[in-house]
Amino acid sequence: MRKTFLFLGIIALAFTLSACTNVEKNSVNKTTNFSNEQEEGEEVNIESGTYSANAETSSLKWLGERIVGSSHSGSVDIKSGNFIVEDNKISSGEFILDMTSISDSEGSERLEDHLKSEDFFMVSEYPEAKLRINSSNMLSSNSNEEIVLEMKADLIIKGIANPVEFTTTLKEENDILLASSEFSIDRTKWDIKYDSGNFFEDLGDRAIKDQIYFNIIVTANNK
């Protein structure tokens, strides 16, 4: 039986940006609200198997902010992804992001070029980033037929690997499993320190927050 499954993953792009255009922040909600509000409901079962991500129907949106004033948002393409589901949990997997696809929601080529430069992701040398799933634990299921998982993974950006943990909510609709998540990372852990107030003095309004926020949806087909 062919099913579409959704996994959240991804990775992370850790960026914030140079001064270009202001962007509304409502494209990515910075507040994550999952397991603490889950109500127990009937058990939800996900078909076990190996899943392949659907790049065309998956999305990763990011948001970066200055300490004062402006923000920027955009997206990165999910190039590929495979993961294994066992007993309603994701036991392992790997997702690849196409860092050359980094885009600004306002279409600023200047900003996009800056994100691809040595100040941020060094795309010429590191055209891909990876998220390797190590394990997951079920936190709860609820009356909305959702499953909530706590994911443990390694995020690799610019050849630097750091452990990350995040929560994803899975829901099946019309033979499609949807997973969504909102979370943040500290970009400086991946040596992305441009205009960080923790590494440079006297930046004033130019300082960029170290946190990058993500809103992710990934769909996948059961092989």
SS3 of residue 111 by DSSP: helix
Alpha-carbon distances of 97 from 12, 23, 171, rounded to whole Å:
8, 23, 23
Residues 6+ apart with CB under 8 A from 176: 3, 4, 6, 219
User: Which residues of 87-203 form beta strands (DSSP E)?
Assistant: 89-104, 128-141, 146-157, 160-173, 176-186
Instruction: Identify the band that residue 3 occupies on the pLDDT scale cut at 50, 70 and 90.
Output: very low
pLDDT at 11 exceeding the cut of 70: no
What residues form DSSP beta bridges with 64? Answer: 72
Domain boundaries, the chain: 4-22+39-197+209-222
Instruction: Identify the band that residue 177 occupies on the pLDDT scale cut at 50, 70 and 90.
Output: confident
**Is CATH 3.30.1490.20 what the domain over 4-22+39-197+209-222 is classified as, yes or no?**
no
Q: What is the pLDDT of residue 41?
A: 47
